[in-house]
Structure 1
Amino acid sequence: MLLNNKEHLNVSEYVDLNLELRNLDLEEKKKLIWPVSKSVDALMNFWNSEPVRSRQGYNDKSECSQLCLGQLCPALYTIMSDGLKPHLGSTFGPIANSVWQVVEASSQQGPLTKTLNDLVQKINGEDFITEGMLKFHAFVFGLLNLRALDAWFAYLCTRESILRKHYNDSSVLTRGRPDEPRPPLPRYPLIE
């Protein structure tokens, strides 16, 4: 139901169109979350199946690492990339935005973020980890080792200023917030 300048919407058509668009958007966001859930289930099945050490030919580092690298990290990176603004404004003009910049912003030195800051500084100090996605994967592994991945995501979701700065309103990280302001209805010149 595309409109040209001569067509008008009545209020009920507008509400129906708006709900339809929100439902489509919600379905797209669910598709982003599903791989995370699937990878977490795979990791939980791995650790909750027969005793890990008794498995035939078991290499604990290899199998678990492959589940994390092949499933969990890409799924989390996709969520972190959703709705990411391509550029950030600065006094020197626009600068490229990235998932790694979100990680760095969330770990700025403070009383609650010392461990996060130490982890980010350690990753930034490694000469062989130069790409943002590799840094993010290393960060996820570090958080898993610290048993703090869920706590970091929960913390990130409370950092409204970081989310507003780095993400569009359509991001999965900003859309799911209960305090998210609803956009006002647009004003059409002739609503019947």
Structure 2
Amino acid sequence: MKKFIFLFFTFLCTSLAFSEESLPSGYRNIKLGMTLDEVKDALKKDYQFGYRGERDVSLMPDHQKILIETDTSRTAPSSFLDKCWFQFYEDKLYIITINVKPTRMDHYSIFSTLSKKYGNPGNINPQKSEWSNDSVIMTLERPLTLKYTDKKVYEKLMEESLVQNTAQEMSAQAFLEGL
């Protein structure tokens, strides 16, 4: 009996670890870490995203960040996808945001499928469910958004933003002290 319990827990831990390690790094042929040109080429080949070419690409105020926004309403009305965003940092894709058409799919079906494939989410609340491993954060947000984030780039950007806020706070404090 002890041997059976030990084997059961070993199997359970192994399957949970495997499911966390096997998180996808993107959707279809679009993967985190791809260059801007690689993503453009992949989008051109996949009508499901509704990519229209260069007009969908824009430079964000921070010149190291580029954004591609696609919309399937005119170019791929039968797609399950609605609007999608692909965010780049230092020419590498680090966030994929996919809005799914609620007329074609529901939150429960996606949540159930993700839970079966990757195990229960590590973080869940009424707004979102989140799965993560060392390299990817995958979230299912309400009403119906699926997001893939490069965890290392995201953490790096968060650290940089905290440093900037601290510098701003120090400047504000120095100003107030000078009054």
Q: TM-score, normalised by structure 2?
A: 0.31
Select the structure that is richer in strand: 2
Q: TM-score, normalised by structure 1?
A: 0.29
Select the structure that is richer in helix: 1
Q: Which has the higher contact order (CA 8 A, sep 6+)?
A: 1
